[in-house]
Amino acid sequence: RAVLRGSDDDAVLRQAIRDAIARKPKGHDFVIDRAGRAPAVARHMSVTGG
């Protein structure tokens, strides 16, 4: 939101989108315990059938 409200220049927004895409991991990230917390349900969605 800060990027949207902070400038009338679309170039700033485009760069923020590019930066976010660059930080995103390629493909699916199935690491459940990334933040050091246990999941609410101890199984992957693929095990559930979804």
Residue extents of the structural domains in the chain: 1-26
Note the pLDDT of residue 14: 92
Do the Cβ atoms of 48 and 32 come closer than 8 Å?
A: no
Side chain identity at residue 5, one-letter code: R
Note the pLDDT of residue 5: 84
- pTM exceeding the 0.75 threshold for the entire prediction: no
Residue in the block written with tokens 């095990």: 47
* Model confidence pLDDT, tens digit, residues 12-43: 999 999 999 888 877 665 565 556 666 566 66
